[in-house]
Amino acid sequence: MNQDDRMHYEIFFSLYKFIREGMEIPPSIRNHCGFADEYRMFEVLKKMDQELYEQKKRSGEVPDIDTAYAKLITSVEKSFESICIEPPIPYLVRLCNEMKDLKELATAPKGIDGQPLHFFIKYGIEWNRPEDVIRKQAEAAFGKLYERFVRLTGGRSQADAFMRELKVERPAPSETTPRRKPHITVRPKPKGRKMGL
């Protein structure tokens, strides 16, 4: 294995382990991929005392930890997908499950309370807006994620076959199922915060 191949493998492995398990990404790889500042901010927020975090967030000194995580995971996924020739099956399953969640939000979001806040931020969904706005945002997010999935799997036929296997379907444009008003229960973050991946 030459030096370039070894570096490629190290980047692939580090990004994938962060996505799957939240494992630390070495500083050299953070710098190489261009998200060192985002990573540093998330680590600072994650380790910060809860009371201090709430105080600094209220004063605007630090961003919300969910927003910081959503920004970081988006950057990590983008870097990971840019070097991925064949994405691992668990990664594709993860994207499929997120598409399924977006579809539910676009139709009848009964599980809206069960979604972590960073999920909505990551996909640009304003959970406190009227339901027609949430529906449109979820549909748009689903479409963008589906296009990513098509690119990663090598075409629409492969993407659709994979999604059928996991019982994930693209929402029809005419789907306008009446839904209850979405509600999110805000839970306080524990002192030792860990983001659910």
Instruction: Report the alpha-carbon distance of residue 87 to residue 94 in Å, rounded.
Output: 11
User: Quick one: pLDDT band at residue 2, thresholds 50, 70, 90?
Assistant: low
- pLDDT tens column, 69-126: 999 999 999 999 999 888 999 999 999 999 998 988 888 765 566 778 999 999 999 9
Asked whether residue 145 carries a pLDDT value surpassing 60, the answer given is: yes
What is the structure's pLDDT at 171?
Answer: 54
List of residues 6+ apart from 2 with CB closer than 8 A? none
What is the structure's pLDDT at 190?
Answer: 40
User: Quick one: pLDDT band at residue 1, thresholds 50, 70, 90?
Assistant: low
CA 131 to chain centre: 21
User: Quick one: pLDDT band at residue 5, thresholds 50, 70, 90?
Assistant: confident
Predicted TM-score (pTM) of this structure = 0.80
List of residues 6+ apart from 74 with CB closer than 8 A? 122
User: Quick one: pLDDT band at residue 166, thresholds 50, 70, 90?
Assistant: confident
153-176: average pLDDT = 73
- pLDDT tens column, 25-83: 999 999 999 999 999 999 999 999 999 999 999 999 999 999 999 999 999 999 999 99
139-161: average pLDDT = 93
Residue 155 host element (H or E): none
Instruction: Report the alpha-carbon distance of residue 129 to residue 112 in Å, rounded.
Output: 13
Instruction: Report the alpha-carbon distance of residue 78 to residue 53 in Å, rounded.
Output: 28
Instruction: Report the alpha-carbon distance of residue 86 to residue 12 in Å, rounded.
Output: 11
What distance, in Å, lies between the first and last C-alpha atoms of the chain?
A: 31
